[in-house]
Amino acid sequence: MIRLDRVTKAFGSVVAVDSVDMEVPAGAVCVLLGPSGCGKTTTMKMINRLIAPSSGKIYIDGRDTSGIDDVQLRRSIGYVIQQIGLFPNKTVEDNIRVVPDLLGWDRKRSRARAAELLRLVNLDPAIFLHRYPKELSGGQQQRVGVARALAADPPVLLMDEPFGAIDPINREVIQDEFMKLQAELKKTVVFVSHDIDEAVKMASHIAIFREGRLIQYDKPDNILAHPLNAFVAEFVGSDRTLKRLRLIKVGDVMLSEPPRVRAEDSLDTAAALMEEHGHISIVMVGPRGRARGVVRLEAARGKKGLVAEHVDKLPGLVNVQDDLRTAVSTMFTHDVTWLACVDDDGFYKGYITQRGITHVLGAAYRDR
């Protein structure tokens, strides 16, 4: 847990950070967001005292950081920077071993740790341990950068636009990998970014800065749904409601326990079920409940026969784990207003409608 208590930094007469109060809970990913020069990086660097606060206190797990030796403090905090900053004179292994070495771990242990971390960031130790940074791609370098920051297993991780210098495609991949890692390791992360999309994707908390002041500090969905003022609203973008799509899972919006038919059911049964629920189509499932196809009302009504004879292909599926953005995108792709939702094994779990999505997004505004 990190707590900032009225932290201020003045460079001469310029106040870079002005009396910031905030608390980052343990295990949270807090993204400090804002235009350049807003004080977000300065705020982050005050946590490991690369910049000493002019006034105010910073506590990590209840301990006042000003009472800890700067060098000792930094060794207990992981640090990742945009330029990556791998030491070109050291191999990947030695780069990862920097902090363990400083802490006086024995060689065997730190070497084993380096190999373990490389595997964690999806790099094969057999290939990469003894390479030099110049022999790696940008994405690989930043993976090593993250591994290096995690080397001594620090509870807190500071990341200064860590993925900013990586090309967009690899950036997405590395962000996903990092989130997976974070779900496992549950570090307390303070992450500086100027990219709202990155923030929405990564953050459990977003802090928006402007001219040295903390303007709004909240969960991403709240920031997007209820920007505090015009500045925040403009910063997060006029499409902020669309950005919220990313934050909500299909499983939270879908209607579960949906009506369904089987291949051997008669068309009468199917038509009756649809009319009962007011639907114009119904999903046909296989013997164990996997979504197999769809029967339309106009195809079933007044006809004799079995469902299996009149089934159409399903026009696209979503996984319950997907976010709404994916669901909406799939709907647009197939020009439909509803989608069948399945779990990882393909079992039919429910359906999601455009109406349902807009209802959920709108709820945040109606509650006010």
Stretch that binds other proteins, among 58-66, 128-136, 211-219, 260-268 (CB under 8 A): 128-136
With respect to other proteins, which residue has the nearer C-beta, 82 or 269? 82
Stretch that binds other proteins, among 71-79, 226-234, 239-247, 260-268 (CB under 8 A): 71-79
Integer-rounded Cα Rg, in Å, for the chain is 26
**99 is a site residue for other proteins (CB under 8 A):** yes
We find the least distance from the C-beta atom of residue 201 to other proteins, in angstroms, to be: 24
**48 is a site residue for other proteins (CB under 8 A):** yes
- Return the residue of 3, 90, 226, 279 that touches other proteins, per CB under 8 A: 90
Give 119-128 contacts, CB < 8 A, sequence gap 24+: 120/147, 120/150, 120/181, 121/146, 121/147, 121/177, 121/181, 122/177, 123/147, 128/92
With respect to other proteins, which residue has the nearer C-beta, 65 or 330? 65
Do the strands 55-60 and 63-64 form a parallel or antiparallel pair, or are they unpaired? antiparallel
Give CA separation, 140 vs 8, 90, 192, 219, in Å. 36, 15, 21, 31
Strands of the sheet with 2-11, listed across from one edge: 14-24, 2-11, 55-60, 63-64
Strands of the sheet with 348-353, listed across from one edge: 255-256, 348-353, 338-342, 317-319
We find the least distance from the C-beta atom of residue 46 to other proteins, in angstroms, to be: 12
- Rounded Cα–Cα distance for residues 329 and 287 (Å): 30
Q: What residues are paired with 355 via a beta bridge?
A: none
Q: Who contacts 180 (Cβ-Cβ below 8 Å, separation ≥6)?
A: none
With respect to other proteins, which residue has the nearer C-beta, 158 or 214? 158
We find the least distance from the C-beta atom of residue 17 to other proteins, in angstroms, to be: 18
- Report CA 113 to chain centroid distance, whole Å: 26
- Closest CA relative to residue 221, chosen from 327, 32, 361, 354: 361
Report how many residues bind other proteins under the rule CB under 8 A. 27
**132 is a site residue for other proteins (CB under 8 A):** yes
With respect to other proteins, which residue has the nearer C-beta, 73 or 207? 73
With respect to other proteins, which residue has the nearer C-beta, 60 or 352? 60
With respect to other proteins, which residue has the nearer C-beta, 157 or 314? 157
Q: Who contacts 51 (Cβ-Cβ below 8 Å, separation ≥6)?
A: 9, 42, 45
**102 is a site residue for other proteins (CB under 8 A):** yes
We find the least distance from the C-beta atom of residue 182 to other proteins, in angstroms, to be: 20
Stretch that binds other proteins, among 89-97, 252-260, 266-274, 324-332 (CB under 8 A): 89-97
**133 is a site residue for other proteins (CB under 8 A):** yes
With respect to other proteins, which residue has the nearer C-beta, 141 or 216? 141
How many CB atoms are closer than 10 A to CB 289?
16
Stretch that binds other proteins, among 30-38, 78-86, 193-201, 339-347 (CB under 8 A): 78-86
Stretch that binds other proteins, among 70-78, 199-207, 241-249, 344-352 (CB under 8 A): 70-78
Give CA separation, 248 vs 25, 60, 325, 326, 358, in Å. 22, 31, 8, 10, 12
**87 is a site residue for other proteins (CB under 8 A):** yes
**40 is a site residue for other proteins (CB under 8 A):** no
- Report CA 124 to chain centroid distance, whole Å: 25
**315 is a site residue for other proteins (CB under 8 A):** no
Q: Which two tokens mark 229?
A: 């003022």
**Residues at the site binding other proteins, with contacts judged by CB under 8 A:** 48, 50, 71-76, 79, 81, 83-91, 98-99, 102, 132-134, 148, 158
